[in-house]
Amino acid sequence: MPGEYTYDYAIIRVVPRVDRGEQMNVGIILSCVDSDFLDIRIALDETRLRALDLTADLESVQAGLTTLKAVCAGGPEAGPVGELPPRARFRWMVSPRSTVVQTSPVHTGRTDNPQAALQHLFETMVL
C-alpha cells in the first residue's frame, strides 16, 4: 500500500526489584527507518510503582527515563550516543539491560502514520 511504513517499537518497563521480576509499562519507543522517525512517549505512575515496591528509588527511575528521552531526541545533551543517527539511537535504547529501567523485545508493525501508531501503542500498552 502506498505510504505505508514498517516500524519497530519497544515497550519501556520499570522493574523496581529485578530479583522479583515484577514490572510495569511506562513508555513506548518507536522507530520508522523509511520516514526517519524516532520518538518516545513516557508516563510514570508513581503510585502504581509504589504499589509494586514501597522502596522504589523514584529518582533513579526518573533519571533513567530522562536519559532515554535525551537519547531519543539526540544532540550533544545526550552525550556521544546522541550524535548517532536515529536508527542507531533506537538500537542503543532497546539493548538488553539488567537495570530497573528496561525495554521489551522489539516488535514490528506497519502504518501510514508513525506518530499515530506511537500514540495508539502508548494508549493501549501504557495508559
- Which residue range forms the structural domain that includes residue 103? 5-125
pLDDT tens digits for 71-109? Answer: 999 999 999 999 999 999 999 999 998 789 999 999 999
CB distance 55 to 17 below 8 Å: no
pTM, two decimal places? 0.94
CB distance 41 to 18 below 8 Å: no
> Number of structural domains, the chain?
1
pLDDT tens digits for 2-53? Answer: 579 999 999 999 999 888 889 999 999 999 999 999 999 999 999 999 999 9
Backbone angles phi and psi of 26, in degrees to 5: -125, -5
